[in-house]
A and B are shown apart, each in its own frame.
Chain A
């Protein structure tokens, strides 16, 4: 069964304290892994898509990487405005459905 698991569930960081979020997946024939950011009460906002193992993408303080089993979202020197829930998602095998992880709630303290 296709599955996406994110860890940790919640993370508190001091401003400037770098860390990584994890997204583990089991899906046959990965056709893309998506990262989204969600602020409270709002819809998810797209960050990155990764398609193959070894691929990396960066945007400001965020860097996403992909292996055959998992993806990491690295946050370098975070700021309070990076506080949000970060979601990963994959399209399932052989269908047009998407499954999302339950997210990591990130809180960056000033």
Chain B
């Protein structure tokens, strides 16, 4: 089954404690991206990757890092989380980047206290 898998689904952490949210897709897609979703602000893109070792900033990259060492994986790293990073996070993948629809993961609800 074609899917995008994120882990964990839920995470509560404390300010400053480094964390990683994993994302994996099994569709051999070139394009992967991370979004955060906040009430009233909608989905905002954090980072995206066009292919292995190629990443670029979205609209809200501050406080986040990403890496793309393998085509199927695109982890999101918060080196020093802060309460304003409390949000619902989605990973997505698609083929050929901007020309095709995105497949989204189930979401990771992160709370930073």
| Chain B associates with chain A | yes
B50 interface residue per 8 A CB criterion: yes
**Alpha-carbon gap, A99 to B105, bound state (A):** 18
Also in contact, A42 and B107, with CB within 8 A (given A31-B99, A101-B42): yes
- What band does the interface of chain B fall in when counting residues whose beta carbon is under 8 Å from A? 20 to 34
Q: Number of contacts between A and B (CB, 8 Å)?
A: 59
User: Chain A interface mostly helix, strand, loop or mixed?
Assistant: loop
Does any Cβ of A come within 8 Å of B45's Cβ?
yes
**Distance between Cα atoms of A34 and B101 in the complex (Å):** 7
User: Which residue of chain B lies nearest to A47 when distances are taken between CB atoms in the complex?
Assistant: B101
* B43 contact from A46, A49, A87, A95, Cβ within 8 A: A87
Tell me whether A43 is interfacial, beta carbon within 8 Å: yes
A32 & B106 in contact (Cβ 8 Å cutoff): no
Nearest first, the 3 closest Cβ-Cβ pairs linking A and B are: A43-B104, A46-B101, A102-B42
23 interchain pairs (CB within 8 A)?
Answer: A32-B98, A41-B107, A43-B104, A43-B107, A44-B90, A44-B102, A46-B101, A91-B98, A96-B31, A96-B48, A96-B50, A96-B56, A96-B97, A97-B56, A97-B58, A97-B59, A98-B33, A98-B98, A99-B59, A100-B35, A100-B44, A102-B41, A103-B42
> Which B residues lie at the A interface, using CB under 8 A?
4, 31, 33, 35, 40-45, 48, 50, 56, 58-59, 90, 92, 97-107
